[in-house]
Amino acid sequence: MDTKRAIEDASTYLMNTYNRYPILLRKGRGMKVWSADGNEYLDFVGGIAVNVLGHCHPKVVVAIQKQAQRLLHVSNFYHIEPQIELAKLLVEHSFADKVFFCNSGAEANEAGIKLARKYAKEALGPDKFEFISAQNSFHGRTLATLSAGGQEKFQKGFEPMMPGFRHVPFNDISQIEKAITPKTCGVLLEPIQGEGGVNVPHPEYLSQVRQLCNERKLLFILDEVQTGMGRTGKLFAYEHYGITPDIMTLAKGLGGGVPIGAMLASKEVSGAFKPALHGTTFGGNPLVCAAGITVLNTILEDGFILEQCVRMGEYLIEKLNSLKKDFPSIVVDVRGKGLLVGMEITKEGGPIVNTCMQRGVLINFTAGNILRFMPPLIVQKKDIDQLANVLEEVFHSLQRE
């Protein structure tokens, strides 16, 4: 199938839910993807933080192949070895005691919201059902997670939203304190807001939220769908802040390219879920768990990938700050942690993303004017240099206009 035919057929047969770029990607390896036209692209999108080990990492491919020859799917009526092994790995390397597997970040957050309500009603009182979340947050596109998210643009047209969510400014503990009511059961936050503009909390914010939750007997839920699995230089972003949540959600990088989500919780909180109260048909499927085991073990091997993430994250921010110095009329701010980095600009991000794509580099933008960089954790200095050179050319062109 050539590119023109693919675009025509996509328009005919696929629902119009994405503004897709006019390229047909056919192959990926490491940091690079190739189109059906034979064009090569350096990928700084990484499947929106999914491809933590790069495209088609050999170990992940072999793990999937081996599992596919053994068992593709049964049901959660039965015990499944890869599911148990992945859960054990996650528990051994996090605060959590129990894991629930699902298929996506939205489904993980749905599960976290349901678990928190169930626990709070049983342990704290029948009227406890409200959550406090942050403006500009993003927790998924199902109705409950749209309601939890603090961005009106995603909610418009789908009203009324599910009741029970109050939104406060991110990074302001006083606003959370003011929003607490007798009905509040928990606080739901991203450690770093990704889709909302790569907004990094001040160093004390999350520990302040943790302390407040302890004092007011609220559950603290962290959405690590984008920040988890080494993206910020530690396995989970909460480790940077010296705290632990009560519930944590994961997805994106967990499967290294295959769809899997997970909701983790402490033993006490997880005990609110009993058989038949919650479930999912495909969650914890043997195939995706085999991939997840390989991803997690590879990240943990000698700590190399996490160290690489920290080094390359610092190098990326250094190169982007150099562009900020050279183009003060275009670049407003550079922020992020590890390899989740945003560059705030004075221009619309869409045209810049298109121009970079024409020059062989895939990047992403969010919140209108934030260029977002989420490369695989295996990114090298030469890749970052290529990105910086392309951005420099693009910014020079913008200055001449």
pLDDT digits (tens, 9 = 90+) for 10-33: 999 999 999 999 999 999 999 999
Using the predicted structure, report yes or no on whether residue 401 has a pLDDT greater than 80. Answer: no
Return d(Cα 130, Cα 184) in angstroms, integer.
Answer: 4
* Residue 302 banded pLDDT, cuts 50, 70, 90: confident
Q: Which helix (H) or strand (E) holds 249?
A: strand 247-250
Q: What are the catalytic residues?
A: 138, 223, 252
In this prediction, what percent of the chain has a pLDDT beyond 90?
Answer: 98
CB 287 within 8 A of CB 74: no
Return d(Cα 26, Cα 8) in angstroms, integer.
Answer: 17
What is the model's pTM?
Answer: 0.97
The arithmetic mean of pLDDT across residues 32-41, rounded, is 97
Q: Convert the pLDDT of each residue in 222-249 to its tens digit.
A: 999 999 999 999 999 999 999 999 999 9
Return d(Cα 240, Cα 237) in angstroms, integer.
Answer: 6
Q: Which amino acid is at 264?
A: L
Q: Convert the pLDDT of each residue in 259-286 to its tens digit.
A: 999 999 999 999 999 999 999 999 999 9
Q: Which helix (H) or strand (E) holds 320?
A: helix 304-326
CB 251 within 8 A of CB 260: yes
Return d(Cα 352, Cα 253) in angstroms, integer.
Answer: 26
**Nearest residue to 47 via CA among 200, 255, 230, 238:** 255
Which segment of 71-80, 117-126, 296-305 scores lowest on mean pLDDT?
Answer: 296-305
Tokens encoding 170: 């991110």
Return d(Cα 51, Cα 133) in angstroms, integer.
Answer: 28
The arithmetic mean of pLDDT across residues 149-155, rounded, is 94
* Residue 400 banded pLDDT, cuts 50, 70, 90: confident
The arithmetic mean of pLDDT across residues 153-169, rounded, is 96
**Nearest residue to 187 via CA among 162, 216, 161, 159:** 216
**Nearest residue to 44 via CA among 342, 347, 344:** 342
Tokens encoding 338: 């590890």
Name 99's bridge partners: 264
Return d(Cα 147, Cα 161) in angstroms, integer.
Answer: 5
Pinpoint the alpha helices (H) of 34-80.
46-49, 58-68
Classified as helix, coil or strand, 297 is helix
* Residue 137 banded pLDDT, cuts 50, 70, 90: very high
With residues binned 3-state (H G I as helix, E B as strand, rest as coil), the percentages for the chain, rounded to 5, are 40, 20, 40
Classified as helix, coil or strand, 95 is coil
Using the predicted structure, report yes or no on whether residue 180 has a pLDDT greater than 90. Answer: yes
pLDDT score, position 364: 96
* Residue 399 banded pLDDT, cuts 50, 70, 90: confident
Residues 6+ apart with CB under 8 A from 104: 140, 251, 259, 261
Classified as helix, coil or strand, 119 is helix
**Nearest residue to 123 via CA among 222, 300, 286, 246:** 246
Q: What φ, ψ does residue 301 adopt, rounded to 5°?
A: -60, 110
